[in-house]
Amino acid sequence: MQHAQSRLEFIPQRFNPVVLRLAQWLLPILLRFRLRPWLPAGISRIQVKNAEILAELYQQFQAGKVRFLMAFRHPEVDDPLCMLYLLSRAVPRVARQQGILLQYPIHSHFIYERGMLLWAGDWLGWFFSNLGGTPIRRGKRLDKLGIQNARNLFANAKMPIAVAPEGATNGHSGIVSPLEPGVAQFGFWCVEDLQKANRSEEVLIVPIALQYSYVKPPWAKLDWLLSKLEADCGLPVKTIGRSETANPEEIHYPRLLRLAEHLLTEMEGFYQRFYHQHLAAIDHELEARGNANEILMARLHRLQDTALKVAEQYFKLQPQGNFIDRCRRLEEAGWSYIYREDVSDINALPPFQRGLADWVAAEAELRMRHMRLVETFIAVTGTYVKEKPTPERFAETALLIFDMIARTRNNTKLPGRPRLGWRQALITVGQPISVTERWAKSQSDRRAVRVGVTELTKELHQALEQLIKT
């Protein structure tokens, strides 16, 4: 973004059944090709567990007995398509099999992050709006309009609502990122709104896990991707002989470690030399243990902290909270420099003032790129691949490295990831969590409410973690 823009306008939801039917009709094509017909390596199969839970909940919802929110895992950008499959295919099929009578369409409103439209285009805003989506600015301290609309939909809409409580993709099917407290807070607000209206529906949160795996282990494509990354980094490209193909995980793991070590060293030097950052020494006890994975993670966390400080210093922000909190604050600070709420019509500015506004916007965008690098590795751990060296975990980690390198090379738009092979998705619906019960226990004072929201968020996190382990 090299030019200042007008403020980000709120896009109200305008659910249109015709658009929903079109999306449902196109779903098989979107799953397999994702709008890239020259790369047929999308999702070929989706398995759903416990869809009957949602079928029964929809029946109770339509009977006016419950209100519920679907809190789904968000590892990949394909998750919304899988959720559409769950509601438009799996739930109706199970309902028919079990004789559960439902009113159609079986669909949901959903909350999406307003920033998605910045890289996807305005057409996506129209599409989401007509599918029943409502936007929220995740980094904004108080997005009153977004919160009010989502809160009203949860309590009063003719369909339930769906939210990704992690707030963003983390690229890991086997790791649940820290959850943002908004889902639990929306649940408490919904109970309050129903109580004020003298309504007796029970409020529930339904955890839903999404995981992806390859139909066939893509070791050959992984070798190609790792070779590309090695070449991009200026490292010698590893050549695998025929005798080494029997145990590819033993060959590829050292390559991942070498790439990680090289990139960390390069980025540490980059921030020390050009941004004059001092890197704190690694803990002596950690170095004495000599565990390469632990040392790499300590260096990664130090580097993430340094990158965020570079951006925070520019925007005059104090480091507060975890890495995710800091990323959100930086995102909002950057947007305030690019999407100018203090200017009614950016195109009406005199040329000199417009030039200064563009200058500020370009600088803000550049500073936000430090934050984007941190976001890329927000869920990375030192043991994710080692503890379970599956082709999926190798691929997830290699693709994150691809994203990181691509961000440094491309100043305009992140290039599409390489397709490594056909994938299959597993959707697991968990047991609903009663918000109404927990709300009743937290009404003594405001502190009790905050504690209640925190505990509910932890319980939801544990439920999602349990679902991806089963």
Q: Set out the domains of the chain in order of their start, with CATH numbers.
A: 10-215+423-469 (3.40.1130), 219-409 (no CATH)
Phi, psi of 171 (to 5 degrees): 75, 10
Residue 66, Cβ neighbours under 10 Å: how many? 20
Nearest-angstrom CA–CA distance, 468 and 211: 7
Query: Which amino acid makes up residue 400?
Result: L
11 neighbors 348 (Cβ within 8 angstroms): no
> 3-state class of 111 per DSSP?
strand
Which of 449, 438, 370, 431 is closest to 53 using CA atoms?
431
Consecutive 10-residue runs of the chain (470 residues): their mean pLDDT? 85 95 92 57 90 98 97 93 96 96 95 82 89 86 86 97 92 91 94 95 97 94 95 89 71 92 95 93 72 87 96 95 91 92 89 95 94 89 89 95 87 74 95 93 77 94 93
Ramachandran quadrant class, 309 (left: phi over 0; alpha: psi -120 to 50; beta: rest): alpha
Structure tokens at 445: 């004072």
The predicted structure's pLDDT at residue 36: 47
Structure tokens at 387: 């503890």
> What one-character-per-residue DSSP string does 268-307 give?
HHHHHHHS-PPPPPPPHHHHHHT-HHHHHHHHHHHHHHHH
Structure tokens at 13: 């939801």
For 418, how many CA atoms within 13 A lie in the half-sphere containing its CB? 18
The predicted structure's pLDDT at residue 273: 96
> 3-state class of 421 per DSSP?
coil
Helix axes 182-196, 144-156, angle to 10 degrees: 60
> 3-state class of 140 per DSSP?
coil
Nearest-angstrom CA–CA distance, 433 and 456: 9
Residue 238, Cβ neighbours under 10 Å: how many? 15
The predicted structure's pLDDT at residue 150: 95
> What one-character-per-residue DSSP string does 398-421 give?
HHHHHHHHHHHH-SS-PPPPPP-S
Structure tokens at 102: 């439902």
The conformation of residue 470, written as its DSSP 8-state character, comes to -
Nearest-angstrom CA–CA distance, 399 and 417: 7
The predicted structure's pLDDT at residue 168: 85
Nearest-angstrom CA–CA distance, 229 and 406: 10
Residue 269, Cβ neighbours under 10 Å: how many? 11
pTM equals: 0.92
Nearest-angstrom CA–CA distance, 152 and 147: 8
